[in-house]
Structure 1
């Protein structure tokens, strides 16, 4: 292969030449796995293809387009229902160890119940799984990612205690169909979003109930996860030896300069403990400090009992210990202190934190990213894993999401490269200095998608998607090249390559696979015109 060197020099690297010298010398262990994630409603499209029934997001976006920043919907999205082979190709191009995707409940079970399994839905996910395995990529499957069948929402959705049985029945179908090929499962993704955010903001399913519905949803989500985990553990694990857990989105909290550690810890117990303590603690049930506080507030408000439904002893035993690893989604952090008179309290998506009378702020040096809630604090990821380990003991941590968005969709996305580099640095420090058992890292997201109430405005993708193109052309960004290098080398030190331009240099880098693999440890400025 012939390369024309526009700038004829190659600088061989001896040691590290970037700022964090010691960390740059660290590498990920050979067993560490890298992947990327998507979710069904956000990429599949095909919202009414075959016998798929409407989800809560189909209904919400069609009936309330004004609540989406750009008025968009996931009707077509990335058209991955039709273009799944393109998704497998770009996953393989990145060299990923795994690809995390979700199954659409209303696509697989149109009625929401297992009385009828869609043959089209069954085939779609089976072909996707087989395609990934053929490409040497492990499928990591999320059973539920915020796309409840509308038919079940009409029966009360996550506020109906029977939802835990409905979900368990659905999960059993999914396991029955795919457990022979899928070894890593996420039962539920981010219950804090579809409980806390949904029932306080009134987004899908457009039910506002911050004092009652929010807490019913929390409890039922945890019990639903537990029932699904126990089904797998009893019926499928002995044969297939897979792992199952849920993914929790947790924000890191620490005291501001005038704050108290006690206040920050209360916020952590609410934001992280409520979806962790019932599963990962030795005693089970709600975090005691939170349970006592909400009971006290409920009585003060005139309720005859706590608005937070208690776990029965049977439910404590059912839920406790239902994990094989800790699935962690991390994006942002806040500073805490006791609220003063008239100050704003509560914070998205943990709006229930208004119960705690805490004010939340950020540091001036934390970079702001879109959307409105996003401030970048990489160290929070390391602090959070240490806190979880200290709270619940040594266990396997699997980072199931992190990433950053922008609104301009530029291809030379240096801010995203920096975000991943700095967060991966914190993971390395967690492994090598804190001795936390972190086994995997998942980039959110593989490609631009429908980002819920932010529509198509937020661009999180390693690959840009042209939503004006009928073929939804996927184009690798600079961050994709960087992440590919991390996957192949286990090092977070970025190679230097020609700045992205519209002449397609990133595509040329990907087309030079063999040569690129040879020179990834070399800083270079190359013209790939003749590659």
Structure 2
């Protein structure tokens, strides 16, 4: 049963005031980004590289999904087989990074391109050469590399051995990390072990929204997370012990989170919002960044009790040993944060103890206000910059003013170089970031826009565009053209300030009657309690 909330909608006229929440993060001030603030841009291997089986690359779980499991997975029937063909266009990609003037290019390395079967006995030299060439191009433009080791593309051969539910994968990932360190530590300053592990485990192992579509929620998602956190810690310690003394780089993890706004000011709704944050973000951050380590105490208590009620002999949430808690704790040199949008949270009307699932364990419902600006090609992406500011403050308060690098933030549309909505989105969210830094005193060190170019956007295929550069997917060379947002972002980076014409009360770029929901509508929720 899905818990649905009915609300009235109206055509958004550009006023930031909405029921219960003003989406604006605050008035424009004469705030500027510090000279040492890092600006960057991000991509992911599977979404841009193409060349899915070229030069010795092995099959990934996403290749297997779109070729074997479900060829109609993407809405437009497309696959990442070619995508933006960055495998053959990496020099142009590096030029685009240079044109933006960013400090950092965050890109991911494809595990099966380096180790086709995922194991160290078979290393693909052509794959190693590709990333070495890309790093050399970035070095030519004085761009610092931030490398993501794992952005969802597990070698299919490892998935057939259980993937992230097989505890041996901790050692397999450590071997992979060592290969990357051995080959690229001299050229990479920032390492990210995993990007958005919640999407990997909750959406891929617990549900069917991501590969490998295991659909074993309440079990596989917890096992996946348990092994993934241990793999992260092992990769961190390997670098810390062997490579940091020579190269002095940093290692962390990138975690995604929406902001959770209580539906009302009631104690129950405030508890629902906090529980959402702990069961989604805290699930991964608490073991690494908290003073005590381990999973959030309330998460442990609830899942242990529900497992008991469901007649399991032990909790469905695996337990770390005291030694593992200490081993994982502190394994983040910065806090990588991906953020896009905001949800309202309230407690579920009823909780069914007999049906194990992460959603049931959490016991909450999330939804969005249709009055929040949208006009995005991704129906979940509503524009609520104040949520970004509040999330940054929550992370800072929860984890002792940790050093934060925003590793993804961006807006999706359907196409075109004149992308007023994306320009507006970046203005509002960068304004929120400045308010967070100056008024809330958060320790934000950098910001990476998502994404450098249009890409293969998972189940949206090629229909949803996040890029600062337009990609002509029909052209032989996948021609890249800067959008208005690329020019705006470059000006922000150069001036270290928001555009002169930015108005924090103006959301008119998102005003369009044909993109809002009908007059009576269902508010988005992804948490089913059945």
| TM-score of the pair, normalised by structure 2 | 0.86
**Alignment counterpart, residue 413 of structure 1, candidates 406, 419, 443:** 419
**Counterpart-to-counterpart distance in 1, 2:115 and 2:296:** 35
**Counterpart-to-counterpart distance in 1, 2:245 and 2:230:** 22
1:317 aligns with 2:336: no
**How large is the RMSD of aligned CA atoms in angstroms?**
1.8
The aligned counterpart of 2:63 is 58
The aligned counterpart of 1:513 is none
**Alignment counterpart, residue 307 of structure 1, candidates 299, 303, 316:** 316
**Counterpart-to-counterpart distance in 1, 2:469 and 2:246:** 37
**Counterpart-to-counterpart distance in 1, 2:400 and 2:389:** 16
**Counterpart-to-counterpart distance in 2, 1:483 and 1:42:** 22
Q: Is the contact made by 1:199 and 1:210 (CA closer than 8 Å) also made in structure 2?
A: yes
Matched residue of 2:448: which SS?
Answer: strand
Matched residue of 1:133: which SS?
Answer: helix
Task: Give the Å deviation of 1:342.
Answer: 9.5
Q: Is the contact made by 2:148 and 2:193 (CA closer than 8 Å) also made in structure 1?
A: yes
**Counterpart-to-counterpart distance in 2, 1:459 and 1:204:** 21
Matched residue of 1:327: which SS?
Answer: strand
**Counterpart-to-counterpart distance in 2, 1:26 and 1:20:** 14
Q: Is the contact made by 1:482 and 1:495 (CA closer than 8 Å) also made in structure 2?
A: no
1:267 aligns with 2:276: yes
1:402 aligns with 2:417: no
**Alignment counterpart, residue 289 of structure 1, candidates 293, 298, 308:** 298
**Alignment counterpart, residue 358 of structure 1, candidates 333, 355, 364:** 364
The aligned counterpart of 1:26 is 31
Structure scoring higher RCO (CA < 8 A, sep ≥ 6) equals: 2
The aligned counterpart of 1:45 is 50
Q: Is the contact made by 2:25 and 2:389 (CA closer than 8 Å) also made in structure 1?
A: no
Task: Give the Å deviation of 1:21.
Answer: 9.3
Of the structure 1 ranges 61-70 and 119-128, higher mean CA displacement relative to structure 2 is found in 61-70
CA gap of 1:223–1:209, structure 2 versus 1, over 3 A, is same
Matched residue of 1:175: which SS?
Answer: helix
CA gap of 1:342–1:280, structure 2 versus 1, over 3 A, is closer
The aligned counterpart of 2:519 is none
Could you list the runs of 5+ residues in structure 1 that have no partner in the other structure? 1-18, 497-531
**Counterpart-to-counterpart distance in 2, 1:47 and 1:338:** 44
Could you list the runs of 5+ residues in structure 2 that have no partner in the other structure? 1-23, 503-530
**Counterpart-to-counterpart distance in 2, 1:75 and 1:39:** 14
Task: Give the Å deviation of 1:361.
Answer: 2.1
1:385 aligns with 2:388: no
Task: Give the Å deviation of 1:291.
Answer: 0.6
Task: Give the Å deviation of 1:375.
Answer: 2.1
The aligned counterpart of 1:255 is 262
CA gap of 1:219–1:411, structure 2 versus 1, over 3 A, is same
**Counterpart-to-counterpart distance in 2, 1:464 and 1:342:** 46
**Counterpart-to-counterpart distance in 2, 1:150 and 1:363:** 39
**Counterpart-to-counterpart distance in 2, 1:433 and 1:385:** 12
The aligned counterpart of 1:375 is 382
The aligned counterpart of 1:519 is none
Task: Give the Å deviation of 1:200.
Answer: 3.2
The aligned counterpart of 2:473 is 467
Task: Give the Å deviation of 1:93.
Answer: 0.9
Task: State how 1:205-216 maps to structure 2 within 5 Å.
Answer: 205-216=212-223
The aligned counterpart of 2:18 is none
**Counterpart-to-counterpart distance in 2, 1:55 and 1:494:** 46
Task: Give the Å deviation of 1:201.
Answer: 2.8
Q: Is the contact made by 1:215 and 1:309 (CA closer than 8 Å) also made in structure 2?
A: yes
**Counterpart-to-counterpart distance in 2, 1:205 and 1:494:** 46
Task: Give the Å deviation of 1:20.
Answer: 9.3
| TM-score of the pair, normalised by structure 1 | 0.86
Task: Give the Å deviation of 1:24.
Answer: 3.9
Matched residue of 2:240: which SS?
Answer: helix
Residues 335-368 of structure 1 deviation map (CA, whole Å, 9 limit, x = unaligned): 111222599xx9xxxx823322212222343123
Task: Give the Å deviation of 1:333.
Answer: 1.5
**Counterpart-to-counterpart distance in 2, 1:164 and 1:291:** 23
**Counterpart-to-counterpart distance in 2, 1:393 and 1:214:** 28
Q: Is the contact made by 1:97 and 1:138 (CA closer than 8 Å) also made in structure 2?
A: yes
Task: Give the Å deviation of 1:169.
Answer: 0.9
The aligned counterpart of 2:248 is 241
Residues 217-251 of structure 1 deviation map (CA, whole Å, 9 limit, x = unaligned): 11111111100000000000011000110000011
Task: Give the Å deviation of 1:92.
Answer: 0.7
1:335 aligns with 2:341: no
Q: Is the contact made by 2:203 and 2:213 (CA closer than 8 Å) also made in structure 1?
A: no
Which stretches of structure 1, 4 residues or longer, exceed 4 Å deviation after superposition?
19-22
**Counterpart-to-counterpart distance in 2, 1:288 and 1:341:** 22
For the pair shown, the structure with the greater C-alpha radius of gyration is 1
Matched residue of 1:188: which SS?
Answer: strand
